Amino acid sequence: METSEALILQSTFLTEGLAAAMAVLTVPLLADLAVCIAGNLRRGRKADAAKVREIRLAVVVPAHDEEAMIARTVQSLLKAGCAPAASPIAGDCAAAAWSVPLIVVAHNCTDRTAAVAAGAGARVVELNHVMMRGKGVALRYGFEAARAAGANAFLVVDADSVASRNLVSATTAALERGAAATQCRYELELPSSRPATSLERLRVLAFRGINVLRARGRAGLGFSAGVFGNGFAVADSTIGRVPFTVDSICEDLEYHVCLVLARLRVEWVEEAYVHAPLAPVRSAQASQEARWEGGRFHVATRATGRLLASIARGNWRAFEMLAEAWSLPISRGVLALILAACLPVHWLHVFAIAGAALVLAYVLEAVFLGNSPWRDFAALAVAPVHILWKLAITPLVLRQSRGSAEWDRTQREAQTP
């Protein structure tokens, strides 16, 4: 009898422990979703603020073996207002018109990235040093080259992306109004040569949720929008206050943590965007997502202590930053909520239902932020397949969470300019 009671107690203790673990795992995600949903619902048009400073923007494109994509990127940036390399660069701040330099940093390239970028009209800085790796290194060299040309603000665009025609002007305007840093919309492109599959639409939808819905929602409630490493701009004065010394595989999140700790806010540029193509090969997608997830976990573990200390000193924006850093990917969060619903714990069932409602509201908002909401909504039918796939790549994510993980190019099909 005593043995039976002991087993029951042990089972109850184990169940309650699992219930607590499920709640702890999902609370950061649900808190982040709640903030973002509320922020998107209350967003309104803001009156234009007065210009407070002169901005001399330069565009910096870090590139590692991007021969197939770089010409398209350069030409889209020239159309967005950058000056071709042959044009004179206005280094004098009193110049009537600032010619926006376009600087491609060809970093440890083994292909013709530098030649193709130069041929397309960019100014190219080659960085060939096998011991100096990582996107952070390439960006620091790009910022220095732009600074030498007279720039006092830098816009980062990835070497596989297409920019909207108003990207340079909209970013410049936000920085001129006093923004310390900015982030525009960053989305994935569906294939143009064939109909998109449901899984591809689902992945684009998930990306939109993270890089559009969450960012504009945070900004709508006065938090920092976030840094996504593409379409991100920063004033040189901000770098003077918060040096860009980040070198992890997830340098964008790492630098965003540094900005929030310094009580600086990244402003959201709603009207401009950058688009990057979806990785066409499933193995390439797995590698890309594993780098993102693993890098985020690595940064979160290193930043938690500093964020908690900042919260204790009254930095209220650090609350949301902590939730963002520890937020599970939505697919893993859904899986955790399903597991929570299966445990025989009443309070956890209530928690799981509330969490599911938040996830549903979040997904619906992300769907209706796109151009084809009904097709995106139909793609949700394959969500279970995606969740199982994410579960399968967990070992790869854990490997990428090591600090030694390196910046690598995602395999994509060549794109014509």
Q: What pLDDT score does 161 carry?
A: 96
Q: What's the pLDDT at 7?
A: 56
CATH architecture of 57-200+225-281: Alpha-Beta Complex (3.90)
pLDDT value at position 92?
A: 47
Q: Where are the beta strands (DSSP E) in 177-253?
A: 181-189, 232-235
- pTM attached to this predicted model: 0.89
Closest CA to 54 of 83, 92, 19: 92
**Are the C-beta atoms of 117 and 70 separated by less than 8 Å?**
yes
The reported pLDDT for the residue numbered 95 is 46
For 59-91, b where at least 16 C-beta lie within 10 A, e where not — what string?
Answer: bbbbbbbbbbbbbbbbbbbbebbbbebeeebbe
Amino acid at 375: R
β-pairing, 100-107 vs 82-83, is parallel
Beta pairing partners, 121? none
- H/E stretch holding 204 reads helix 198-208
Which tens digit of pLDDT belongs to each residue from 62-119?
Answer: 999 999 999 999 999 999 999 998 766 555 444 457 899 999 999 989 999 999 999 9
Give the mean pLDDT per block of 10 residues along the chain (417 residues). Answer: 57 75 90 93 69 93 93 96 77 63 94 94 87 82 95 96 97 97 95 85 92 94 94 97 89 95 97 89 65 82 95 95 92 90 88 95 93 90 86 75 55 51
**Alpha-carbon distance 227 to 265, whole Å?**
10
Question: What is the C-alpha to C-alpha distance for residues 274 and 184, in angstroms, rounded to an integer?
Answer: 7
Residues sharing a CB contact under 8 Å with residue 413, sequence separation 6 or more, in sequence order? 68, 277, 280
Cα dihedral angle (204, 206, 212, 216), rounded to 10 degrees?
Answer: 160
What's CA 250's distance to the chain center, in Å? 9
Give residue limits of the domains in the chain.
Answer: 57-200+225-281
Sign of the Cα pseudo-torsion (127, 129, 130, 131, in order): negative
Helix (H) or strand (E) segment spanning residue 145: helix 135-148
Cβ atoms within 10 Å, residue 304? 14
